[in-house]
Amino acid sequence: MASRTGTDSFLGAYNATEYLLLPNEIKETDGASYSPNNLVGKLHTGGWKAAPLIFVTEICERMATLGLQRNLVTYLVNKMHFSIPRSANMVSNFVGALYLTAFIGGFVADSYTGRFWAITIFSSIQICGMVLLTLSATLPVLRPPECSSHQESPCHPATGLQRAVLLSGLYVIALGNGGIKPNVSSMGADQFDEKDPERQNHMSHFFNSFYFIISIGSLLSVTVFVYLQDNLGFGWGFGIPALLMSFGIVIFFAGAPLYRHKVPRGSALTSVAQVLFAAVRKRNLPYPSDGTLLFDGSNDNKLVRIAHTNQFLFLDKAAIYSGDEDAEECKDPWWLCTVTQVEEFKMIIRMLPIWASTVFVWTALAQMETFSVEQGATMKRNDL
Give me the residue spans of the domains in the chain.
Answer: 4-34, 47-148+155-265, 268-357
Cβ 142 vs Cβ 162: under 8 Å: yes
Residue 4's pLDDT is 34
Residue 98's CB is within 10 A of a number of other CB atoms, namely 20
Distance CA 238, CA 130 (A): 7
Between CA 60 and CA 248 the distance in angstroms is 5
pLDDT at position 42 is: 55
In a 3-state reduction of DSSP, which class is residue 27? strand
174 with 98: CB under 8 angstroms? yes
CATH class of this structure's domain 47-148+155-265:
mainly alpha
Q: How far is CA 293 from the centre of its chain?
A: 38
- How many Cβ atoms are within 10 Å of 246's Cβ, its own excluded? 18
| Dist. CA 319–CA 335, nearest whole Å | 8
Provide the 8-state DSSP code for 50. T
Contact 84, 78 (CB under 8 A): no
pLDDT at residue number 180: 92
The whole-angstrom separation of Cα 268 and Cα 342 is 11
pLDDT at residue 37, rounded to an integer: 41
Which residues have C-beta within 8 Å of that of residue 23, sequence separation ≥ 6?
36, 256, 257
| Integer Cα distance of 330 and 319 in angstroms | 11
pLDDT on residue 128? 95
Amino acid type, 5: T
Burial class of 57 by CB neighbour count within 10 A (0 to 12, 13 to 18, 19+): buried
The per-residue b/e assignment along 125-156, b for 16 or more CB within 10 angstroms, e otherwise, is: bbbbbbbbbbbbbeeeebbbeeeeeeeeeeee
CA distances from 66 to 144, 234, 372 (A): 25, 14, 16
- CA dist., res. 1 & res. 21, Å (int): 14
Tens digit of pLDDT for each residue in 122-145?
999 999 999 999 999 999 999 888
Q: What is the pLDDT of residue 27?
A: 38
For residues 76 and 267, what is the distance between their CA atoms, to the nearest angstrom?
Answer: 37
Q: What value, to the nearest 5°, has the Cα angle with vertex 173 and ends 179 and 214?
A: 65
- Where are the strands (E) in the chain, listed by range? 19-20, 27-29, 32-34, 261-262
Residues 6 or more apart whose CB falls under 8 angstroms from that of 130 comprise 64, 68, 169, 173, 238, 241, 242, 245
pTM of the model: 0.78
Number of residues in the chain: 384
Per-residue pLDDT of the chain (384 residues; tens, 9 = 90+): 333 333 333 223 333 334 343 443 333 333 223 334 444 455 667 778 888 999 999 999 998 888 888 888 889 988 898 988 888 889 989 988 988 899 899 889 988 888 999 999 999 999 999 999 999 999 999 988 887 765 555 678 888 899 999 999 999 999 999 999 889 988 888 888 777 666 667 788 888 899 999 999 888 888 888 888 888 889 998 999 999 999 999 999 998 888 888 888 778 888 889 899 988 888 888 887 776 778 777 655 555 677 888 888 888 888 887 666 665 666 778 888 888 888 889 998 999 999 889 888 888 877 777 777 777 777 776 655
- Return d(Cα 274, Cα 326) in angstroms, integer: 18
Report the sign of the C-alpha dihedral through residues 163, 166, 170, 176, in that order. positive
Residue (of 118, 115, 123, 122) closest to 19 by Cα position: 115
User: For residue 260, which amino acid is it?
Assistant: R
